Chains A and B, each alone.
Chain A
Amino acid sequence: MSLLSLHNLGVRFGGLRAVSDVSLTVEQGQIFGLLGPNGAGKTTLVNMISGLIAPTEGSITFADEAGGPWPIDQAVRRGIVRTFQQTRAFLGLTVRENLRIAGIAAASAPPTDELIAAFHLEPVLDRPAGDLNYATLRHLGIALALSLRPRLLLLDEPAVGLTGAEVDRLAQLIRDWNGRGVTVLLIEHNVRFLMALSHRVAVLDRGRLLFQGTPAECRANPQVIDVYLGRSAEHA
């Protein structure tokens, strides 16, 4: 059952066509990976899906409801929640206050205790978010998004800047929350991380959809290898 469908989605910024004619489907319960070189339009696509910017062409269907994308507050009400490439948290507030504020727009009681336990936030609850180390701050950013009990979680490069062990731990957390019914659309430059997590992947190149399929099919696709993965991927 499809949760999110993009129909010929695209956006122009003046004369620049940043994303063009992207159509793809994310099934309910999937982790869907989105790959592409820098400037391919991945974050722009997430910005459109989440309602942060309006597309100039195409539309979205979410949970059988046509007419999207919606403004960001309406998208959140429908269960589409995102994180940011550069982690955002309320840096002047404590972790506890961050979680309290993040929960105010939640349709139902936020799973704060579960998030604190899952993301190991207990020892830092009373520390300002601005004082957290990088990995914990990234965890907090994802926990804030999960406070809203999203149906679709858009993760924009969550593993960037993390060490190997931290990436493994993040992968496990994403799997855990996916196992609880959260569908995930994951943008990531770390190909190994993304391929290991995703049920399906798509590759964007210069704003256009180059490929859509399983990770295995992606690794074997000559166009993807040429444009993004390189020859070594054939043996990855």
Chain B
Amino acid sequence: MARIPHIALISAVAFAAAVAVATQMNDYLLYVVILWAIFASLAVSFDVLLGYTGYLSLAHGALFGLGAYTGAIMTTRAGAGFWLALPVAGLVTAGVAMVVALIAFRTRGLYFAVLTLGIGLIGHQMFLVASGLTGGVLGFAGIPGPGVPSWLPIDQNLWNTCLALALLLVTFLAAQVFVRSRLGAACIAVREDMTLAQALGIGISRARLSAFIFSGFFTGLAGALFAAINNFVAPESFTVLGTGFQLVALVVVGGMGTLWGPILGAALLTALPEALRMASGYSMLAYGVLLLVFILFAPKGFAGLIQRGAAVLRRPATRKLSPTKEGVR
């Protein structure tokens, strides 16, 4: 298992490289990178819940929206700055995630998914009906963006890109720390065999609740940044069938329980609609076909393909008896 300092170093280098590449991009490409980084952050934090505890939440589209509206309301109605609104959005979303989790963890499996689906639908409906706060179906416009510090000689789009990449970096490192902690190990035990986990005295309630709250916090941060960068949010961005299922797709296509896989999944599934923008009628078709192909032929996602490839490359030299050594979870 790679150590946190090594992961932090590699991640920081990747972040610096991404920023360097971004300086050479036009505004359109920068926006695609922003979308990718925000959805990759979402996917990484969602992977902590789905990939490490095995619980499928369909409430996360609404939690993403809650973070976005909290950030928007804080900066427009409460007069708070972006840097205050961002953590508050994370904390509010984490708090609501805790309540959702306390209700939802009374159930398991399919029932958990359906219960969170209900919560996701309620959340989306709340964004529509609480129009005094959210702008209703017309959306919430005029959200101030994260201003570029006066000492930094870059334009707004590049600054937005840096923030989105920084959020991805922080989310990824925090997730790495979480899954390597005792709580993370307990989450894995819950996913693998809950009865055995109980018999070993592992606090399963605390573990899965922590994973849900962790995921909620970073989902809220992503939502607030999404709102600030777009200067606008509307309920259609936070539907169960849209963002809710998209998150599942990002994690499954990327590779559940790896943390880095969903970043690749987000890259593929963000780039694809953009690449097919000229043939928008085929965009969702291609999206659907891609999901089918991955589920049928690469159920462990991108990460699984890469790990399998690495194992094949290693095999002639070491002749290991064991089959693929999946990433340490």
Contact = CB atoms under 8 A, between A and B. Distances in A.
B199 interface: yes
Contacts of B186: 101, 104
A44 interface: no
A75 B148 CA distance: 56
Interface in A83-127: 83-84, 88-94, 97, 100-102, 104-105, 126-127
A128 interface: yes
A102 B192 CA distance: 12
Interface stretch (B4-12, B66-74, B320-328): B320-328
A52 B194 CA distance: 12
Contacts, number: 79
B131 interface: no
Given A88-B193, A104-B185, A131-B323, A97 B329 contact: yes
Contacts of B230: none
A147 B201 CA distance: 11
Interface string B97-119: 00000000000000000000000
A35 interface: no
Contact of B328 (A81, A88, A97, A145): A97
A88 B196 contact: yes
A154 to B, nearest CB: 10
A77 interface: yes
A229 interface: no
Interface string B182-211: 100110110011011011111100000000
Most buried by B among A82, A104, A144: A104
A154 B53 CA distance: 28
Contacts of B199: 50, 52, 72, 76, 81-84, 88, 145
A73 interface: yes
B188 A148 contact: no
A187 to B, nearest CB: 15
A101 B243 CA distance: 33
Interface centre among B185, B186, B188, B201 (most CB of A within 10 A): B201
A72 B198 CA distance: 7
A148 B202 CA distance: 11
A105 B323 contact: no
Contact of B188 (A81, A93, A131): A93
A18 B185 CA distance: 36
A102 B200 contact: yes
A147 B329 CA distance: 19
Contacts of A72: 198-199, 201
A90 B194 CA distance: 10
Contacts of A128: 322-323, 326
Interface string A133-173: 00000000000110110000000000000000000000000
Contacts of B198: 52, 72-73
A97 B186 CA distance: 12
Contacts of A94: 325, 328
Nearest to B198: A72
Contacts of A97: 188, 328-329
A91 B192 contact: yes
B185 A92 contact: no
Contacts of B201: 72-73, 75-77, 81, 105, 148
A223 B201 CA distance: 39
B193 A101 contact: no
Contact of B202 (A52, A93, A104, A127): A104
A128 B323 CA distance: 9
Contact of A126 (B185, B189, B195, B322): B322
B193 A126 contact: no
Most buried by A among B196, B200, B322: B200
Among B186, B192, B202, B325, max chain A CB count under 10 A is at B192
Given A52-B199, A72-B199, A104-B182, A93 B322 contact: no
A93 B329 contact: yes
A82 B201 CA distance: 10
Given A76-B201, A90-B188, A131 B322 contact: yes
Given A81-B199, A92-B192, 17 more contacts: A52-B199, A73-B198, A73-B203, A77-B201, A81-B201, A84-B196, A88-B195, A90-B193, A104-B182, A104-B185, A104-B186, A105-B201, A126-B325, A127-B322, A128-B326, A144-B196, A145-B200
12 contacts: A52-B198, A73-B202, A81-B200, A81-B201, A83-B199, A88-B196, A90-B192, A91-B193, A94-B328, A100-B185, A101-B186, A144-B196
